[in-house]
Amino acid sequence: MKTFSFVKYEALGNDFVLIDIRHEKFSFSKKQIKKIADRKLGIGCDQVILIVSPQSKNSHVSIQFYNADGGEAEMCGNGLRAAAAYLWQHEDMKAKTLVFETKAGIRKASKFGQSIKCEMGAPKILKLPSRLKIISTALKYPIFIDSSVPHLVFLVAFKNISEKKLAAFGSYYEYNKIFPKRTNVDFVDIRSAHELHVKVWERGVGFTRACGTGAVAAAVACLSKGLLKNPVTLFFPGGKLLVEWQGSNTPAYLTGPIKEVFAGVFAARAKPSKDGNKFVN
């Protein structure tokens, strides 16, 4: 057994366990990731984040994101902000802007008052699958967005639909065969020209109290249809995030708070990895 240090962060209730393995050569199994994320048998979180050594000298670190079911995600906006907070608070990094390598590409984070602002890459509006079935009249104006990870966005009126039904819709679309890699599902309710209420069903997790890539996807979906004006304040069950986007082929920016919850140590059987810092099933 080997002991590992971790730090837990939360962003509007969207919580993460960060493990820094830059100086180690081992890997966690999918089963171990699931146990770490388990709220009864492990530490408990929506996502496990591994901080590893970067490939490029121009980057500060590389980040690997794993959902609570053990599946890997290309990127996570709130998780990126958590990683930035960790480096500033625990590694005493002096750089005002941090550069990260992710599976979705290079991402950057900077301090913005008491919050952290992330450059989230240029979101893309994707073609809806031809076999997409709208299973309820409550779901309006579907749009498929790549905000570093896939998000299927629907306009809804929250006052007319229950949380239980939204959860059923989220699960239905996440596991639908028309999405080979599964998808996140966003339900959005427009409240004003600059305000949006959002609930995100995250693949591999379920409903979360907030979601960074979901915030970008929801804002971009509505801005692209002319339903909102830039910038957009998004209200989640856990609080609010700000998204800025100037239009096609430009990066989106996500700003919001992040908080360290606690730090600790756990024991696990680590499988040696010849390549170092690699996640294996």
- The per-residue pLDDT for range 25-56, each reduced to its tens digit, is 777 899 999 999 999 999 999 999 999 999 99
Q: Give pLDDT, residue 129.
A: 95
**Helix, strand, coil content of the chain in percent (nearest 5):** 20, 40, 40
Whole-model pTM: value is 0.92
**For a pLDDT cut of 70, what percent of the chain falls above it?**
96
Q: What is the structure's pLDDT at 25?
A: 72
Would you say residue 94 has pLDDT above 90? Answer: no
| pLDDT surpasses 50 at 280 | no
74, with CB counted inside 10 A (0-12, 13-18, 19+), is middle
Residue 52, token pair as written in the block: 């590893």
pLDDT at 276 over 70: no
Which band of pLDDT confidence, cut at 50, 70 and 90, is reported for residue 3? confident
Average pLDDT over residues 228-252: 97
58: three-class secondary structure by DSSP: coil
Residue 174 CA: distances (Å) to CA of 9, 157, 158, 206: 26, 21, 20, 9
| Peptide bond between residue 231 and the one before it cis (omega within 30 degrees of 0) | yes
Q: Is the pLDDT of residue 121 over 60?
A: yes
How far, CA to CA in Å, does 28 sit from each of 39, 40, 75, 151? 18, 19, 19, 27
Instruction: Tell me what pLDDT residue 26 has.
Output: 73
Give the pLDDT mean for 126-134: 96
Average pLDDT of the segment spanning 53-64: 96
| 46 DSSP 8-state letter | S
The class level of CATH for 124-250 reads alpha beta
pLDDT surpassing 70 at residue 133: yes
Which segments of 139-231 does DSSP mark as H helices, in order?
Answer: 163-174, 212-224
Whether the predicted pLDDT of 92 surpasses 90 = no
Q: Check whether 277 has a pLDDT greater than 60.
A: no
Cβ partners under 8 Å of residue 132, min gap 6: 142, 178
Backbone angles phi, psi at 79, to 5 degrees: -65, -35
Catalytic residues: 76, 211
Q: State the Cα–Cα distance between residues 155 and 188, nearest whole angstrom.
A: 5
Q: Are 72 and 281 in contact (CB under 8 A)?
A: no
- What is the length of the chain? 281
**Confidence class of residue 101 from pLDDT cuts 50, 70 and 90?**
very high
pLDDT band at 275 (very low <50, low <70, confident <90, very high): low
Q: What is the pLDDT of residues 149-204, one digit of tens each?
A: 999 999 999 999 999 999 999 999 999 999 999 999 999 999 999 999 999 999 99
Model confidence at 273: pLDDT above 70: no
Q: What's the farthest any 2 CA atoms get from each other in the chain?
A: 55
In CATH terms, 2-113+259-272 corresponds, of 3.40.50.300, 3.10.129.10, 3.30.830.10, 3.10.310.10, to 3.10.310.10
The residue ranges of every structural domain in the chain are 2-113+259-272, 124-250
Structural tokens at position 143: 């749009």
Say yes or no: do domains 2-113+259-272 and 124-250 share a fold: yes
| Three-state secondary structure call for residue 229 | coil
Cβ-contact 174, 203 below 8 angstroms: yes
pLDDT at residue 279 tops 50: no
Mean of per-residue pLDDT scores for the chain: 94
> Does pLDDT of 274 surpass 60?
no
* Paired tokens of 19: 């493990």
Span 108-132, average pLDDT: 96
